[in-house]
């Protein structure tokens, strides 16, 4: 696991589930607030299971968050220097 | 030689564009049509879902779903008529507001009353001053109606008409997109349910109620009742095609393009939907119909109703490179993947136009910008690029030098360096 | 009650607090940098900043509590929380209390960061520079070892480190602004 974050290709992205923009998902999912994101890259270091960096240093969310990665996903959310990452959890009906 | 800005051609139509030659002032409209019926939300939902009314802003979202979400909120809703028409090639909303504004405003008032609100905002764009004047006049004519009209003036940018950009403008901030965590119909302007729809959508609502569902569904198909407005467009970033004025027509759903376009238009490659739309190859329009569903099934889109045939013999590859450069310029610049990815995409398309086979890289960059922004601007640009690559034979012909445009002659790209 | 232990805890925690607050402030300033390496990933500086800040908070509680509990010097509990009404060295004690209050607000807003507007969080957090200065003056004014050579050197070194980090930060900020205007 590279702690510096690694860049991704579009192919990697195509295999991951891409979450819709709004609405409640079935599994917890990470969403980026794009106007706030400044490509600092901490998220890719903290939750590499779900985030890799593209060629411009911006996060690519590669799929829903599994139970094992949930703790790391939460840490990534609190660690973002610009509060640009959110964890959207399923609404239990 | 180009047509003076603001000049548009419009033909009469069966529903929205009926009687455009007649007096369309509010007094005449009211005298002809009578008082606007008062319908409940349930009535409107029933009407709009059985008539399958879809939004005409480009996303074709089911209007009944949006109305239902706005009605379900706790706080007092607000209605927004979006006539910003950020798509430069489109003229349908301007035509509506300049010829039959009260059909649009009727729809807005119907929705507002059903939602129990008096507040209606109408958004126009500073780069379409005739439309702005028409709205000012129309709203003034309706001042006795008990509606609190607010006329919003958007900047003439491509993304100024995006829903959240409009709400930002209404809120007194810069009119550019921001991230939406909930749909604006649920949580929009000041956290209130916001029914924001395209001007043409409200016109359909108005006509549907005034003429009745029977008369409305007498046009179109069972799956897609009614009509839609098309702009037979001529506007590209470097100016107008052959100096012709855009032509707005009303067409029943299901009508073949062959019935509304001329032979040269049908034989040319064409951009369908607008600058965020999809390309069709030469002659393809002969097999297609004006139908959101039929086009969607073929990977195409009706978008904002723009049909832009390249009747001047220009090449889709070169045109796409120009369009991508324009769209990159028009990015709000707020989101990294869009701000950085769109110029990259434009550069790759320019390289393609110059004869380098960059298709793989274009697809890669398109994949990197999609759904990674606060709005759909990168998605639309990616869609345009992907549709070019998907055009059978056209890109190959261009790369082989067999297309008529001549590779070295890519027009001056409007990019700020 | 009084005892030498309380006295040493208070003085000791005071000196260590100077070091820990210096480290916290410098780490916080360096967290704005975009530099990273395989050995020092991006999240480390920020993570350390938070941990060290937590340590400072604990030390601060010990420092203030020992001052109040020790009856050798008359410091009432409210004088540790409110920066006026002190009887023992009122100016310098109040500065200490002010620093404590500021640190409290800074920490609370940071814990609640996702629930408050970003500009509010930032406005409070920028007070760290002021807080550090206030804490240093408090130590120089009220510290019983303040006149000692080691204490003077230590204080100068800590202030110097923070000043250096601040200058580096200004450099980052100016560079970023220049890049922003060039784009």
- Of the residues A9, A31, A33, A35, the best mutation for testing chain B's interface (the one with the most B CB atoms within 10 Å of its CB) is A35
Cα atoms found within 13 Å of the Cα of residue B348, Cβ hemisphere only = 22
Confidence at C155, pLDDT banded by 50, 70, 90 = very high
The answer to whether B182 contacts chain A (CB < 8 Å) is: yes
**Which of A36, A51, A56 lies closest to A5, judged by CA?**
A51
Of A9, A22, A57, the CB nearest to B182: A22
- Cα of A16 to nearest chain C Cα, Å: 25
Residue B238, pLDDT score: 81
The answer to whether A56 contacts chain B (CB < 8 Å) is: yes
Residue A3: pLDDT above 50?
no
Percent of chain C exceeding pLDDT 70 equals 98
Residue with tokens 């129990």: B116
Stretches where chain B sits below pLDDT 50 are: 408-410, 412-417
Residue B406, pLDDT score: 56
The answer to whether A15 contacts chain B (CB < 8 Å) is: no
Residue C173, pLDDT score: 80
**A chain contacts of residue B366, beta-carbon cutoff 8 Å:** 10
Determine the Cα–Cα distance for residues A76 and A64; give it in Å rounded to an integer.
14
Strands B247-252, B9-10: pairing kind:
parallel
The answer to whether A33 contacts chain B (CB < 8 Å) is: yes
Residue A26, pLDDT score: 86
How high does pLDDT run on average in chain C? 91
Of B179, B368, B371, the CB nearest to A33: B179
Q: Hey, what CATH topology would domain A10-88 get?
A: Alpha-Beta Plaits (3.30.70)
- Cα of A77 to nearest chain B Cα, Å: 16
Q: Where are the alpha helices (DSSP H) in B198-272?
A: 199-211, 213-217, 263-267
Give the residue with greater pLDDT, B263 vs A19: B263
Residue A9: pLDDT above 50?
no
Q: For residue C94, give both structure tokens.
A: 């109040």
Helix H or strand E segment including B152: strand B148-154
Residue A18, pLDDT score: 40
**Subunits with at least 3 CB pairs below 8 A relative to chain B?**
A
The residue extents of the domains of chain A are 10-88
- Backbone phi and psi for residue B274, each to the nearest 5 degrees, phi listed first: 125, -170
Residue C28: pLDDT above 70?
yes
Residue C78, pLDDT score: 83
**A chain contacts of residue B336, beta-carbon cutoff 8 Å:** 34, 37-39, 56-58
- Of the candidate ranges A43-47, B256-260, C30-34, the one whose mean pLDDT is the lowest: C30-34
- Of the residues C33, C41, C53, the best mutation for testing chain A's interface (the one with the most A CB atoms within 10 Å of its CB) is C41
How high does pLDDT run on average in chain A? 81
**A chain contacts of residue B335, beta-carbon cutoff 8 Å:** 34-35, 37
C16-41: average pLDDT? 95
Residue C138: pLDDT above 60?
yes
Confidence at A20, pLDDT banded by 50, 70, 90 = very low
pTM over 0.80: yes
Confidence at C2, pLDDT banded by 50, 70, 90 = confident
Residue C73, pLDDT score: 80
Q: Do A40 and C38 touch (CB under 8 A)?
A: no
Of A23, A34, A86, the CB nearest to B372: A34
Confidence at C84, pLDDT banded by 50, 70, 90 = confident
Inter-chain CB pairs, A–B, below 8 Å:
57
Residue B181's closest chain A neighbor by CA? A22
Determine the Cα–Cα distance for residues C58 and C65; give it in Å rounded to an integer.
11
Q: Do A35 and B371 touch (CB under 8 A)?
A: no
Give the residue with greater pLDDT, C166 vs C84: C166
Of A4, A81, A83, the CB nearest to C41: A4
Q: Do A56 and B336 touch (CB under 8 A)?
A: yes
Residue C1, pLDDT score: 76
- Of the candidate ranges B123-127, C16-20, C86-90, the one whose mean pLDDT is the lowest: C86-90
Give the residue with greater pLDDT, C171 vs C164: C164
C15-21: average pLDDT? 97
- Cα of C40 to nearest chain A Cα, Å: 9
**Subunits with at least 3 CB pairs below 8 A relative to chain C?**
A
Q: Do A81 and C31 touch (CB under 8 A)?
A: yes
Determine the Cα–Cα distance for residues B185 and B139; give it in Å rounded to an integer.
24
What count of other Cβ atoms lies within 10 Å of the Cβ of residue B47?
Answer: 20
């Amino acid at each position: 696991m590279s702690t510096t974050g690694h860049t991704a290709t579009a192919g990697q992205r195509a295999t991951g589930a891409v979450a819709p923009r709004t609405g409640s998902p079935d599994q917890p999912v990470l969403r980026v607030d794009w106007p706030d994101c400044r490509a600092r890259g901490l998220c890719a270091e903290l939750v590499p299971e779900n985030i890799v960096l593209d060629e411009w240093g911006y996060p690519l969310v590669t799929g829903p968050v599994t139970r094992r990665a949930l703790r790391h996903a939460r840490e990534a959310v609190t660690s973002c220097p610009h509060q640009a990452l959110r964890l959207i959890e399923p609404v239990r009906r | 030689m180009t047509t003076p800005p603001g000049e548009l051609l419009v033909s009469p139509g069966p529903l929205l564009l009926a009687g455009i030659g007649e007096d369309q002032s509010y007094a005449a409209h009211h005298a002809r049509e009578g008082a606007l019926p008062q319908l409940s939300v349930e009535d409107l939902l029933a009407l709009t879902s059985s008539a399958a009314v879809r939004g005409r802003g480009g996303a074709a979202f089911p209007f009944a779903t949006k109305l239902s979400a706005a009605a379900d909120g706790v706080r007092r809703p607000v209605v927004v008529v979006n006539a910003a028409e950020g798509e430069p090639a489109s003229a349908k909303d301007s035509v509506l507001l300049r010829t039959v504004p009260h059909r649009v405003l009727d729809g807005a008032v119907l929705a507002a009353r059903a939602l129990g609100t008096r507040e209606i905002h109408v958004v126009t764009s500073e780069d379409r001053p005739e439309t702005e004047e028409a709205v000012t006049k129309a709203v003034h004519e309706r001042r006795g109606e008990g509606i609190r009209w607010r006329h919003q003036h958007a900047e003439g940018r491509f993304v100024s008409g995006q829903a959240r950009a409009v709400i930002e403008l209404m809120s007194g901030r810069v009119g550019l997109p921001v991230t939406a965590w909930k749909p604006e119909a649920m949580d929009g302007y000041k956290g209130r349910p916001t029914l924001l729809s395209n001007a043409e959508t409200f016109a359909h609502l108005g006509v549907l109620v005034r003429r009745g569902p029977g008369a409305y569904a007498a046009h179109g198909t069972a799956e897609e009742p009614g009509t839609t407005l098309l702009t037979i467009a001529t506007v590209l970033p470097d100016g107008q095609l052959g100096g012709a004025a855009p032509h707005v027509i009303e067409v029943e759903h299901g009508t073949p393009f062959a019935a509304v376009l001329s032979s040269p238009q049908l034989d040319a490659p064409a951009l369908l939907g607008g600058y965020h739309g999809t390309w069709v190859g030469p002659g393809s329009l002969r097999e297609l119909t004006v139908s959101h569903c039929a086009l969607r099934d073929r990977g195409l889109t009706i978008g904002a109703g723009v049909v832009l045939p390249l009747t001047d013999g220009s090449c889709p590859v070169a045109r796409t490179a120009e369009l991508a450069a324009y769209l990159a310029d028009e990015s709000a610049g707020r989101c990294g993947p869009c701000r950085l990815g769109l110029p990259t995409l434009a550069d790759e398309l320019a390289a393609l136009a110059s004869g380098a086979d960059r298709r793989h890289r274009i697809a890669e960059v398109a994949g990197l910008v999609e759904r990674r922004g606060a709005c759909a601007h990168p998605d639309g640009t990616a869609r345009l690029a992907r549709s070019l690559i998907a055009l059978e034979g056209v890109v190959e012909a261009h790369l082989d030098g067999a297309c008529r445009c001549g590779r070295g002659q890519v027009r001056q790209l409007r990019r700020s360096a | 009650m009084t005892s030498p232990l309380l006295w040493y805890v208070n003085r000791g925690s005071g000196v260590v607090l100077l070091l820990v607050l210096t480290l916290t402030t410098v780490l916080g300033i360096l967290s704005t940098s975009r530099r990273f390496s395989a050995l020092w990933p991006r999240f480390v500086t920020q993570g350390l900043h938070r941990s060290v800040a937590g340590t400072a908070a604990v030390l601060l509680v010990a420092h203030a509590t020992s001052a109040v509990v020790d009856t050798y010097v008359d410091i009432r509990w409210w004088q540790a929380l409110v920066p006026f009404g002190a009887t023992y060295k009122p100016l310098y004690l109040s500065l200490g209390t002010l620093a404590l209050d500021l640190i409290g607000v800074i920490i609370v807003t940071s814990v609640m960061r996702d629930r408050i507007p970003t500009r509010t969080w930032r406005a409070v957090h920028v007070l760290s520079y002021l807080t550090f200065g206030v804490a240093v003056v408090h130590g120089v004014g009220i510290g019983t070892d303040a006149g000692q050579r080691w204490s003077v050197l230590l204080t100068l070194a800590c202030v110097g480190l923070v000043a250096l980090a601040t200058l580096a930060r200004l450099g980052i900020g100016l560079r970023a602004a220049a890049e922003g205007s060039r784009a």
